[in-house]
């Protein structure tokens, strides 16, 4: 197997808050291959965004990365110097966010916002930047790009703004795109269009995509592989088809069970017993799902099976639901 | 009862958590004591001049020194507390009634009442406030009462707006609707349901504007309006000492100015603290 | 753009009408009969009635108001009782002094307070953050005339760095040829370095006094809005795009953060114009504020009225300018208007 586009290995992040230290991520490991679309799913607060921010190096000041590596093209992003990171960010790895309307500068023309990134990362002269920005708007399916480039975000619809975000993210042709709930708040048709644009750009350029979502149904449709997170841990990773056919972690199983027809949003369903544990607690059980888990063993409080960051599959459970399906080990 | 107790506990918590507010509270007590007891405890008669002891620097005998007429500045500063505080409190109480009531009426009744009150507020806001206060005092006559009135008028928009928006929010509230349905008249509802709920917010507003009221009144007397010499008042005392700053007798203007500053500082801090107690949401 | 300016002008008109009405009502509230005052204590009933007719105070209020408005339209503000001079003329000659002081003060406060607020927000916990916090609490409590006097004591009496705090120019120098009335500009136009430096030296303390007075609200607002903007989604986007930190802070964060600061500037101006009067008195500055103060003491109403009117008109105009500046920066206001 070729080197993955991104390898995250044993990543831990803590937040210093007034009410104590929040252990937001602990030992998070996963990888994404070139050209692959990896979905990261989990309840609200499970640490999906924090993982993405840590990789991008845009965690806020209260956060500290306490362990781990995030290797992209031979460079450990977590250990890289500020200058090196500034080169990588936006060029090698780009990110698009939820809420496209607020994610764009409200008082700058969208064409200029794209041009800012082009000037920074792509070898583009100031004279050519506006033209290049218009071309990019065209590639993300914006009609009348010449006029739209002169628009301000408030003059565009949410879907339009998200296309602009994609254009910004793709401006420097990154090798990895992280999309953090890129379609939340958009209507279903627009959702599909946005996801199509991302998929189309990814397959055109061989870019890897990490797609963060609440929506297990959307993940099922769009992802090659799915990583399931719970309370700052990666609990399971499998190929999409296999995950739905044979969920092995009790949490994954509960998640899928709570998703009728794989179409509803997780957030709207409350059939998973219990809540996320308080991540500020001084002593959390080794498996953070233990308190909610119907299959809990005594060992779950004290140890957690480690996962191989380079493997396509992962499982952090002492008492999984069913044995892995045959012929998967290869 | 229990809400009172918990409010008290919250107040104690805020004071304990926030030493600055506690400090301001201490200062406030001192100021009030000076206002009440000042004239009977000061070492010298604040009006008695003694030209043989004129322009003396601060010493053990005259803590804050003496002025050009040999009057004891410490005694004058302390005695002035009562007048300065009185002007500020009177003007704030006046605007509390004027602005609070018209704001409540505007917010509760809406319609033309609202339009008139807001138009008045907007018109006042169209002036630089201190300049308007000067104009009002000039027109109505140069007296302490008119300084109080002018200070109240320039603060009117602030109170009217706060009261209006609070009344507006509460007009829609369920319990007001319930009171109305059970046959209560507007006046009754305003007096029993709306005003009691708005008063804490207006009280915070009062302590926040006290500082400004003191500054405004002192500014007016600094330029020679309202209080007349030889009455001890901080603004006038600073004005009297101004000429001596260039010849090095700094204490004449310095101590009344310092008193003024401390009083304003105290009320500003107190206002912030009080706001935290009454309305923790707006904490910054 | 033009529609924005037009709209704001339309909004300023009710304020101006309000100002005219209020200044008129203030004249009518004058204690006593101005005609009797004019005529002097020895005048007969007959003479007073004549003056009353001449002043128009025997007419119904609405007629008097009409006359007041038409006088204003012709730039007529009446005459000073004490000097007999035209108030409008006097104000016109003194206005540049006040305007120069206020504008330099305003510039100074923006130059000081905005960087303070930005640094405090981008470096939380640093010394500049603490200084900003102290200044913005203590600053609002300082009576402006007191600050002025302290500066005089320190910089004139103690250190001898600044000239005697009297007026706009050293008495031994003559004013630069009148072009704008702003000594700094006129001296620069006349290429008179000596006068320029002398005028600047006179100006610096009063302008600094005004700036210290207005420092607190602007620094506080800059800090708060910069903090809010720095944690906004679009700044995160800009960071995630790898834009340089100067680009993020200047083009993305600051241009957005400056909007609430501009709004605050409007409020600060109200205080600044008021404080101007006090500063003029402390520094014997020959502006319209000291003109009004002198008239106030002499119970000479016309100059005060002219002063109040001028200041209010100035304030309305400056607010208009602020609104337009806001619209220039914020397309949401510009385009939707
Ligand atoms: N700035 C912060 N300060 C303190 N704790 C934080 C901060 N940001 C995130 N956290 C904590 O980190 C944990 C993970 O948050 P994160 O935003 O990554 O969740 P998420 O999986 O993205 O959820 P969502 O689906 O709601 O976006 C949460 O428990 C949250 O409380
Ligand atoms: Mg998230």
pLDDT over threshold 80, residue C103: yes
pLDDT score at B17: 65
Tell me, yes or no, if C232 comes closer than 8 A to chain A by beta carbon. Answer: yes
Top residue of A106, A115, A152, A166 to mutate, by most chain C CBs within 10 Å, is A106
pLDDT score at A262: 45
Tell me, yes or no, if C125 comes closer than 8 A to chain A by beta carbon. Answer: no
pLDDT score at A7: 94
Indicate yes or no: CB of A105 within 8 angstroms of CB of C233: no
pLDDT score at C31: 59
Beta bridge partner(s), residue A237: A227, A314
Q: Which residues of B touch C277 (CB under 8 A)?
A: 130-131, 134, 219, 223
Which candidate from A56, A102, A107 shows the least CB-CB separation from C240? Answer: A56
- Give the chains touching A; criterion: ≥3 Cβ pairs < 8 Å: C
pLDDT over threshold 50, residue C320: yes
Q: How far is CA C241 from CA A4, A114, A282, B275, C161, in A?
A: 22, 10, 36, 41, 51
Whole-number Å distance between alpha carbons of A4 and A210: 12
Nearest CA to ligand 1 atom 6: A15
pLDDT score at C34: 64
Q: Are B29 and B35 in contact (CB under 8 A)?
A: no
Which candidate from B223, B245, B254 shows the least CB-CB separation from C277? Answer: B223
Instruction: Choose between C152 and B170: higher pLDDT.
Output: C152
Which element (helix H / strand E) includes A9?
Answer: strand A6-17
Q: For residues C110-130, give the mean pLDDT.
A: 88
pLDDT averages per 10-residue partition of chain A, 330 residues: 83 89 93 94 92 92 91 91 89 91 93 94 91 92 92 92 92 93 86 90 91 90 94 93 92 84 50 75 85 88 89 90 52
**Min CA distance, C233 vs chain B (Å)?**
21
Q: Which residues of C touch A51 (CB under 8 A)?
A: none
Whole-number Å distance between alpha carbons of C113 and C101: 18
Q: Give residues 262 to 301 of C whose Cβ lies within 8 Å of B.
A: 269-275, 277-278, 281-282, 292-293, 296-297, 299, 301
* CATH code of the domain made up of B2-282: 1.10.3720.10
Tell me, yes or no, if C23 comes closer than 8 A to chain B by beta carbon. Answer: yes
Q: Which atom of ligand 1 is nearest to the CA of A60?
A: 1
pTM above 0.95, yes or no: no
pLDDT over threshold 50, residue B99: yes
Indicate yes or no: CB of A61 within 8 angstroms of CB of C247: no
b/e for B10-35, b at 16 or more Cβ within 10 A? ebeebbeebeebebbbebbeebeebb
Which candidate from A60, A121, A165 shows the least CB-CB separation from C242? Answer: A121
In sequence order, which residues have a C-beta less than 8 Å from that of residue C33 and are 6 or more positions away? C48, C52, C57
pLDDT score at A270: 45
b/e for A21-49, b at 16 or more Cβ within 10 A? ebbbbbbbbbbbbebbbbbbbbbebbbbb
Angle at A300 between CA A299 and CA A305, to 5 degrees: 95
Ligand 1 center to A44 CA (angstroms): 8
Token pair in block for residue C254: 């600051």
Q: What do you get for the CA distance between the two ends of chain B, in Å?
A: 29
Percentage of chain C lying above the pLDDT 90 cut: 39
Q: Is A in contact with B (3 or more beta carbon pairs below 8 Å)?
A: no
Residue in this structure with the two tokens 């916990």, named with its chain if needed: C125
Q: For residues C230-235, give the mean pLDDT.
A: 92
Top residue of C229, C236, C240, C244 to mutate, by most chain A CBs within 10 Å, is C240
Nearest residue of B to residue C16, measured between CA atoms = B126
List residues, by chain if needed, whose CB lies under 5 Å from ion ligand 2: A 49
Which candidate from C15, C142, C149 shows the least CB-CB separation from B242? Answer: C149
Query: Ligand 1, from A48, A216, A231: best to mutate by most atoms within 8 Å of Cβ?
Result: A48
Nearest residue of A to residue C122, measured between CA atoms = A61
Beta bridge partner(s), residue C17: none
Task: Report pLDDT digits (tens) over C133-176.
Answer: 888 877 888 899 999 999 999 999 889 888 888 888 888 888 88
Which candidate from A60, A155, A168 shows the least CB-CB separation from C241? Answer: A168
CA nearest neighbour of B249 among B58, B102, B100: B58
Mean pLDDT of chain C: 87
Ligand 1 center to A7 CA (angstroms): 21
Whole-number Å distance between alpha carbons of A248 and A235: 10
Q: Which residues of A touch C247 (CB under 8 A)?
A: 116, 120
pLDDT score at B283: 42
- Give the chains touching B; criterion: ≥3 Cβ pairs < 8 Å: C
Ligand 1 center to A293 CA (angstroms): 22
Beta bridge partner(s), residue A210: A38, A178
Top residue of C99, C132, C146 to mutate, by most chain B CBs within 10 Å, is C146
Indicate yes or no: CB of C236 within 8 angstroms of CB of A120: no
Q: Are C262 and C333 in contact (CB under 8 A)?
A: no
List, in sequence order, the alpha helices (H) in chain C.
2-28, 34-39, 45-55, 61-73, 87-122, 127-138, 144-151, 183-189, 193-230, 233-240, 245-247, 255-282, 288-297, 301-329, 331-336
In sequence order, which residues have a C-beta less than 8 Å from that of residue C307 and are 6 or more positions away? B131, B134, B135, C91, C288, C289, C291, C292, C295
Query: Ligand 1, from A21, A44, A47: best to mutate by most atoms within 8 Å of Cβ?
Result: A47
Indicate yes or no: CB of B134 within 8 angstroms of CB of C29: no
Q: Are C331 and B145 in contact (CB under 8 A)?
A: no
Nearest CA to ligand 1 atom 18: A47
Q: Complex ipTM, two decimals?
A: 0.89
Which candidate from B126, B134, B215 shows the least CB-CB separation from C19? Answer: B126
Judge if the upstream peptide bond of residue B230 is cis by omega within 30 degrees of 0. yes
Top residue of C141, C210, C277 to mutate, by most chain B CBs within 10 Å, is C141
**Min CA distance, C149 vs chain B (Å)?**
7
pLDDT score at C291: 92
Instruction: Choose between B185 and B152: higher pLDDT.
Output: B152
Other residues' Cβ atoms within 10 Å of the Cβ of residue B203? 15
pLDDT score at C114: 93
Task: Report pLDDT digits (tens) over C197-231.
Answer: 999 999 999 999 999 989 988 998 999 999 999 98
Nearest residue of B to residue C18, measured between CA atoms = B123
Per DSSP bridges, beta strands A176-180 and A93-96 are parallel
**Min CA distance, A56 vs chain C (Å)?**
7
Tell me, yes or no, if C146 comes closer than 8 A to chain B by beta carbon. Answer: yes
Q: Which residues of C touch B257 (CB under 8 A)?
A: 143, 145-146, 149-150
Delimit the domains of chain B by residue range: 2-282
Nearest residue of C to residue B237, measured between CA atoms = C146
Ligand 2 center to A258 CA (angstroms): 20
Tell me, yes or no, if C325 comes closer than 8 A to chain A by beta carbon. Answer: no
pLDDT score at B271: 82
Ligand 1 center to A47 CA (angstroms): 6
- Give the chains touching C; criterion: ≥3 Cβ pairs < 8 Å: A, B
The confidence band for B2, taking pLDDT boundaries of 50, 70 and 90, is low
pLDDT over threshold 60, residue C332: yes
Task: Report pLDDT digits (tens) over B224-271.
Answer: 888 888 889 999 999 998 889 888 888 889 999 999 999 998 888 888
pLDDT score at C83: 81
Tell me, yes or no, if A308 comes closer than 8 A to chain C by beta carbon. Answer: no
pLDDT score at B94: 94
Other residues' Cβ atoms within 10 Å of the Cβ of residue C266? 17
Indicate yes or no: CB of B138 within 8 angstroms of CB of C301: yes
Nearest CA to ligand 1 atom 22: A49
pLDDT score at A330: 35
Percentage of chain B lying above the pLDDT 70 cut: 92
Tell me, yes or no, if C304 comes closer than 8 A to chain B by beta carbon. Answer: yes
pLDDT score at C81: 76
CA nearest neighbour of A58 among A27, A97, A32: A97
Please report the domains of chain C, with CATH numbers, ordered by start residue: 87-336 (1.10.3720.10)
């Amino acid at each position: 197997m070729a080197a993955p586009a991104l390898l995250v290995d044993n990543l831990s992040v803590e937040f210093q808050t007034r009410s104590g230290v929040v252990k937001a991520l602990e030992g998070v490991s996963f990888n994404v291959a070139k050209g692959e679309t990896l979905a990261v799913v989990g309840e609200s607060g499970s640490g999906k965004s924090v993982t993405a921010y840590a990789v991008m190096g845009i965690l806020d000041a209260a956060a500290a990365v306490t362990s781990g590596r995030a290797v992209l093209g031979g460079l450990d992003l977590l250990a890289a110097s500020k200058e090196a990171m500034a080169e990588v960010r936006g060029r090698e790895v780009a990110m698009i966010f939820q809420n496209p309307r607020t994610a764009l500068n409200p008082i700058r023309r969208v064409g200029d916002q794209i041009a800012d990134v082009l000037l920074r990362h792509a070898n583009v002269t100031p004279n050519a930047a506006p033209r290049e920005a218009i071309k990019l708007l065209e590639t993300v399916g914006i009609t009348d790009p010449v006029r739209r480039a002169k628009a301000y975000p408030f003059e565009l619809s949410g879907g339009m703004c998200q296309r602009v975000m994609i254009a910004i993210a793709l401006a420097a042709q990154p090798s990895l795109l992280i999309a953090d709930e890129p379609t939340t708040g958009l209507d279903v048709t627009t959702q599909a269009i946005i996801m199509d644009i991302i998929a189309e750009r990814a397959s055109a350029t061989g870019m890897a995509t990490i797609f963060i979502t609440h929506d297990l149904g959307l993940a099922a449709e769009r992802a090659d592989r799915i990583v399931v997170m719970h309370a700052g841990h990666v609990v399971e990773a499998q190929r999409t088809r296999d995950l739905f056919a044979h969920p092995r972690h009790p949490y994954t199983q509960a998640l899928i069970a709570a998703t009728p027809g794989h179409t509803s949003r997780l957030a709207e369903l409350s059939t998973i017993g219990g809540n996320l544990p308080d991540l500020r607690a001084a002593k959390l059980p080794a498996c953070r799902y233990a308190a909610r888990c119907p299959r809990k063993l005594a060992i779950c409080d004290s140890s957690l099976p480690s996962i191989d960051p380079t493997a396509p599959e992962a499982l952090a459970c002492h008492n999984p639901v069913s044995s892995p399906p045959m012929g998967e080990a290869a | 009862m229990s809400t009172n107790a918990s409010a008290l506990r919250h107040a104690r918590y805020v004071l304990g958590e926030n030493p600055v507010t506690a400090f301001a509270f201490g200062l406030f007590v001192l100021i009030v004591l000076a206002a009440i007891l000042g004239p009977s405890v000061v070492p010298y008669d604040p009006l008695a001049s003694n030209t043989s002891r004129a322009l003396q620097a601060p010493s053990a005998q005259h803590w804050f020194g003496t002025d050009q007429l040999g009057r004891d500045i410490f005694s004058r500063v302390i005695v002035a507390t009562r007048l300065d505080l009185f002007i500020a409190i009177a003007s704030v109480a006046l605007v509390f009634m004027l602005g609070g009531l018209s704001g409540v009426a505007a917010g509760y009744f809406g319609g033309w009442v609202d339009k008139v009150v807001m138009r008045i507020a907007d018109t006042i806001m169209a002036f630089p406030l201190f300049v308007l206060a000067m104009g009002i005092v000039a027109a109505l006559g140069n007296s302490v009462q008119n300084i109080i009135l002018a200070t109240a008028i320039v603060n009117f928009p602030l109170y009217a707006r706060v009261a209006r928006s609070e009344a507006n929010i509460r007009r829609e509230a369920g319990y007001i609707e319930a009171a109305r349905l059970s046959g209560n008249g507007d006046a009754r509802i305003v007096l029993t349901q709306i005003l009691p709920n708005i008063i804490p917010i207006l009280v915070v507003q009062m302590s926040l504007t006290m500082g400004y009221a003191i500054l405004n009144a002192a500014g007016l007397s600094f330029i020679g309006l309202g209080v007349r010499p030889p009455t001890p008042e901080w603004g006038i005392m600073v004005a009297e000492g101004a000429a001596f700053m260039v010849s090095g007798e700094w204490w004449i203007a310095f101590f009344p100015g310092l008193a003024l500053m401390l009083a304003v500082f105290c009320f500003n801090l107190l206002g912030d603290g009080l706001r935290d107690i009454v309305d923790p949401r707006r904490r910054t | 753009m033009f529609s924005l300016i037009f709209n704001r002008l339309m909004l300023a008109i009710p304020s101006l009408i309000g100002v005219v009405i209020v200044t008129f009502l203030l004249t009518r509230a004058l204690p006593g009969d101005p005609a009797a005052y004019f005529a002097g204590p020895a005048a007969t009933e007959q003479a007073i009635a004549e003056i009353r007719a001449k002043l128009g105070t025997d007419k119904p209020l609405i007629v008097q108001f009409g006359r007041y408005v038409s006088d204003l339209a012709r730039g007529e503000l009446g005459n000073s009782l004490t000097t007999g001079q035209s108030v409008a003329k006097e104000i016109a000659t003194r206005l540049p002094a006040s305007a120069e002081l206020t504008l330099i003060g305003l510039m100074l406060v923006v130059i000081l307070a905005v960087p303070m607020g930005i640094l405090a927000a981008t470096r939380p916990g640093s010394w500049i953050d603490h200084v900003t916090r102290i200044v913005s609490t203590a600053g609002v409590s300082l009576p402006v005339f007191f600050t002025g006097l302290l500066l005089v004591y320190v910089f004139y009496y103690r250190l001898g760095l600044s000239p005697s705090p009297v007026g706009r120019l050293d008495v031994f120098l003559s004013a630069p040829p009148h072009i704008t009335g702003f000594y700094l500009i006129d001296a620069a136009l006349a290429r008179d370095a000596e006068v320029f430096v002398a005028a600047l030296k006179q100006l610096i303390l009063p302008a600094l006094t005004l700036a210290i007075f207005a420092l607190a609200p602007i620094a506080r607002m800059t800090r708060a809005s910069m903090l809010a903007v720095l944690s906004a989604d679009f700044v995160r986007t800009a960071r995630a795009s790898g834009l340089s930190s100067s680009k993020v802070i200047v083009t993305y964060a600051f241009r957005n953060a400056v909007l609430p600061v501009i709004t605050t500037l409007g409020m600060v101006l109200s205080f600044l114009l008021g404080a101007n009067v006090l500063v003029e008195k402390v520094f014997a500055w020959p502006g319209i504020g000291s003109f009004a103060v002198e008239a106030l003491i002499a119970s000479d109403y016309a100059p005060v009225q002219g002063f109040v009117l001028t200041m209010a008109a100035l304030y309305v105009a400056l607010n208009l300018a602020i609104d337009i500046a806001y619209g220039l920066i914020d397309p949401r206001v510009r385009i939707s208007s």
